C-alpha cells in the first residue's frame, strides 16, 4: 500500500473536473483505492511518498504508435504520407528483433518519462523469415512496467496487387491470421487490470486486401480482442478508396464490418458529417494524432464535431496519439507531445478552452487550405511545422486506465 501524500493538487479528471489542493492518493494492490484530503480511511500504515509541490494527474494513455519507426525518424521529411512510406518501406524491410528491441526501449522510455502509463503499438511490418518482433517489444514493455496493448498488425497488399508497399514487406493472409491468432493465445490477458492485451491491426486500405480486413474482423471478434487500423488520414488515401473501392474510407470500413465499440481508428482527419454520425452510431473510438497529421500538412481530425455528437456518450471515443508516430523527429519530440501536462497545463473550463477552440479552428482551416493546395499541385506538400500548439484537447475517456 502506497500513499502519495499532500500533493499541491490532485487532478482527478472526473466528469466534474475536480481538483484537490493538498490532496493525497492511496494505491492498494496496484489500484487507486482512495483520493482525498487528510488521512486515508485505512488502518494499515502505507508507505508514504511526499507529494509536496507536485501535481498528480492520471497516467496518460497513448492510443497510437509505431515503435519501430523510432529508429527511422527524420527521414523523408519533405514528403507527404505516400512519399514518406515509399521511401521508408525498403528501410523497414531490413527490420529484425534487435531493431525492434532497441526501438521499443527508446520509444517506451520516452513515453514513460512523459507521464504515459498505458500505450498501444501498431506493428505491421513482418518481413518474411524475421521472427521475434512482437515478442521483443512485449518484453521491453514488461521490463519498463508500462501497461501495453500492442496490435499484431499486417499488410498483404503489395505493389504487384495494386497496393503501396513493396511485395517483400507484405505477408500472405493465412500466415497473418495464424500468427495473429497465436499472438492472442500466447500474450493476451483479458483479466481486469491486465498489463498486456493484444489487438488485431490490419494496416490501412492501401496496404491490406478486403478479404484480410474481413477475416481480421472475424478473428478479433471470435477471440474477443480489439480492432485497430488507420483510416481517413490523407486526401491521397481518400482518392485511393474512391478509385479502388468506389467508396469513401469510412464507408469502406462500414461495409467490411470494421466499426463498433471494439474498434478504435487512427486519424479520421477527412471525415464528413455522415462519417461522424457513423462513428457515433457504432460507438467506434478515434485516436487523435495531430502532431503526425500536421507534420504531413494533411489537416487534423474535427475533434469538436465528434465530441459534440449527441449520440456520443463516450463514442466516438477520442484520445491522444501521444507519440510522434515516427514522423516527429525534430518536429515534435515525445515528452512535449500532445498529451503532456507540462505543455497542456491543468485543464480548466472557460476562457482557455474557448481560446483553444478558436486557435484550433484557425489552424484547421489553414491545414485544409494546405491540403487543398497540395492536392491541386499533384502531391502532398511539406507539413507546416508551426502547428504544434494545436494540440492539447482532453481525451474523452479521461483518466481511465483501460484499453485504448
Q: Provide the minimum distance between the beta carbon of 254 and Zn ion in the complex, in angstroms, as a whole number.
A: 21
- How many residues bind Zn ion, per CB under 5 A? 1
Q: Provide the minimum distance between the beta carbon of 9 and Zn ion in the complex, in angstroms, as a whole number.
A: 34
Place of cell 483518466: 399
Q: Provide the minimum distance between the beta carbon of 124 and Zn ion in the complex, in angstroms, as a whole number.
A: 9
Which residues ranging from 63 to 122 are in contact with Zn ion (CB under 5 A)?
Answer: none
Q: Provide the minimum distance between the beta carbon of 269 and Zn ion in the complex, in angstroms, as a whole number.
A: 12
- Residues 171/178, Cβ–Cβ less than 8 Å: no
When the beta carbons of 5 and 66 are compared against Zn ion, the nearer one is 66
Q: Provide the minimum distance between the beta carbon of 11 and Zn ion in the complex, in angstroms, as a whole number.
A: 29
Nearest residue to Zn ion by CB is: 325
Q: Provide the minimum distance between the beta carbon of 230 and Zn ion in the complex, in angstroms, as a whole number.
A: 5
Q: Provide the minimum distance between the beta carbon of 321 and Zn ion in the complex, in angstroms, as a whole number.
A: 8
Which residues ranging from 281 to 340 are in contact with Zn ion (CB under 5 A)?
Answer: 325
When the beta carbons of 24 and 325 are compared against Zn ion, the nearer one is 325
DSSP letters spanning 14-78:
-TT--EEEEEEEEEETTEEEEEEESS-S-SS-PEEEE-TT-EE-PPEEE----GGGGGGTTSSTT
Closest by CA position to 285, among listed 308, 304, 310, 259: 259
Strands 2-11 and 19-28: antiparallel
Instruction: Please tell me the distance from the alpha carbon of residue 96 to that of residue 243, in angstroms, as a whole number.
Output: 35
How far from 69 is each of 72, 123, 324, 326, 328, CA to CA, in Å?
5, 10, 9, 5, 10
When the beta carbons of 63 and 118 are compared against Zn ion, the nearer one is 63
Which residues ranging from 338 to 377 are in contact with Zn ion (CB under 5 A)?
Answer: none
When the beta carbons of 3 and 268 are compared against Zn ion, the nearer one is 268
Closest by CA position to 299, among listed 336, 275, 263, 272: 272
Place of cell 518501406: 89
How far from 101 is each of 16, 107, 135, 148, CA to CA, in Å?
41, 10, 9, 15
When the beta carbons of 4 and 124 are compared against Zn ion, the nearer one is 124
Q: Provide the minimum distance between the beta carbon of 19 and Zn ion in the complex, in angstroms, as a whole number.
A: 33
When the beta carbons of 118 and 325 are compared against Zn ion, the nearer one is 325
Which residues ranging from 176 to 235 are in contact with Zn ion (CB under 5 A)?
Answer: none
CA torsion sign for 23, 27, 32, 33 is negative
Q: Provide the minimum distance between the beta carbon of 103 and Zn ion in the complex, in angstroms, as a whole number.
A: 14
Q: Provide the minimum distance between the beta carbon of 397 and Zn ion in the complex, in angstroms, as a whole number.
A: 20
- Residues 318/307, Cβ–Cβ less than 8 Å: yes
Closest by CA position to 267, among listed 243, 235, 293: 293
The tally of CA atoms less than 13 A away on the side-chain side of residue 366 is 16
Closest by CA position to 66, among listed 34, 103, 40, 95: 103
The tally of CA atoms less than 13 A away on the side-chain side of residue 128 is 8
When the beta carbons of 12 and 120 are compared against Zn ion, the nearer one is 120
Q: Which three cell numbers stand for residue 217?
A: 474482423
When the beta carbons of 6 and 299 are compared against Zn ion, the nearer one is 299
When the beta carbons of 114 and 325 are compared against Zn ion, the nearer one is 325
When the beta carbons of 293 and 325 are compared against Zn ion, the nearer one is 325
Q: Provide the minimum distance between the beta carbon of 66 and Zn ion in the complex, in angstroms, as a whole number.
A: 5
When the beta carbons of 101 and 122 are compared against Zn ion, the nearer one is 122
Q: Which three cell numbers stand for residue 68?
A: 519501430
- Residues 104/347, Cβ–Cβ less than 8 Å: no
Site residues, Zn ion (CB under 5 A): 325
Amino acid at each position: 500500500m502506497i500513499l502519495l501524500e499532500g500533493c499541491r493538487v490532485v487532478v482527478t479528471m472526473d466528469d466534474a473536473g475536480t481538483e484537490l489542493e493538498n490532496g493525497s492518493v492511496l494505491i492498494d494492490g496496484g489500484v487507486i483505492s482512495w483520493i482525498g484530503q487528510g488521512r486515508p480511511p485505512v488502518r494499515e500504515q502505507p508507505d508514504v511518498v511526499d507529494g509536496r509541490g507536485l501535481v498528480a494527474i492520471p497516467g496518460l494513455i497513448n492510443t497510437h504508435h509505431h515503435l519501430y519507426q523510432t529508429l527511422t525518424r527524420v527521414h523523408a521529411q519533405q514528403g507527404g504520407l505516400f512519399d514518406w512510406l515509399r521511401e521508408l518501406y525498403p528501410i523497414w524491410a531490413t527490420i529484425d528483433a534487435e531493431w525492434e528491441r532497441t526501438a521499443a526501449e527508446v520509444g517506451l522510455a520516452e513515453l514513460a518519462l512523459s507521464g504515459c502509463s498505458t500505450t498501444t503499438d501498431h506493428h505491421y511490418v513482418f518481413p518474411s523469415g524475421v521472427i521475434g518482433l512482437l515478442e521483443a517489444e512485449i518484453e521491453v514493455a514488461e521490463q519498463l512496467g508500462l501497461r501495453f496493448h500492442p496490435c499484431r498488425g499486417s499488410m498483404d497488399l503489395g505493389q504487384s496487387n495494386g497496393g503501396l508497399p513493396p511485395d517483400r514487406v507484405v505477408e500472405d493472409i493465412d500466415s497473418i491470421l495464424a500468427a495473429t491468432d497465436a499472438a492472442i493465445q500466447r500474450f493476451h490477458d483479458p483479466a481486469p487490470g491486465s498489463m498486456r492485451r493484444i489487438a488485431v491491426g490490419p494496416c490501412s486500405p492501401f496496404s491490406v486486401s478486403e478479404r484480410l480486413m474481413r477475416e481480421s474482423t472475424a478473428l478479433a471478434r471470435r477471440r474477443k480482442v480489439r480492432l485497430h487500423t488507420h483510416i481517413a488520414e490523407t486526401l491521397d488515401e481518400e482518392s485511393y478508396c474512391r478509385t479502388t473501392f468506389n467508396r469513401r474510407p469510412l464507408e469502406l470500413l462500414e461495409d467490411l464490418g470494421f466499426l463498433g465499440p471494439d474498434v478504435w481508428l487512427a486519424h479520421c482527419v477527412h471525415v464528413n458529417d455522415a462519417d461522424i454520425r457513423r462513428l457515433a452510431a457504432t460507438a467506434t473510438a478515434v485516436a487523435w494524432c495531430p502532431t503526425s497529421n500536421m507534420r504531413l500538412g494533411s489537416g487534423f481530425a474535427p475533434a469538436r464535431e465528434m465530441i459534440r455528437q449527441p449520440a456520443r456518450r463516450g463514442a466516438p471515443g477520442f484520445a491522444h496519439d501521444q507519440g510522434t508516430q515516427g514522423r516527429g523527429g525534430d518536429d515534435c519530440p515525445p515528452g512535449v507531445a500532445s498529451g503532456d501536462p507540462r505543455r497542456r497545463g491543468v485543464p480548466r473550463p472557460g476562457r482557455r478552452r474557448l481560446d483553444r477552440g478558436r486557435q484550433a479552428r484557425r489552424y484547421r482551416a489553414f491545414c485544409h487550405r494546405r491540403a487543398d493546395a497540395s492536392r491541386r499541385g499533384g502531391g502532398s506538400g511539406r507539413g507546416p511545422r508551426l502547428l504544434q500548439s494545436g494540440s492539447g484537447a482532453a481525451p474523452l475517456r479521461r483518466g481511465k486506465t483501460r484499453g485504448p
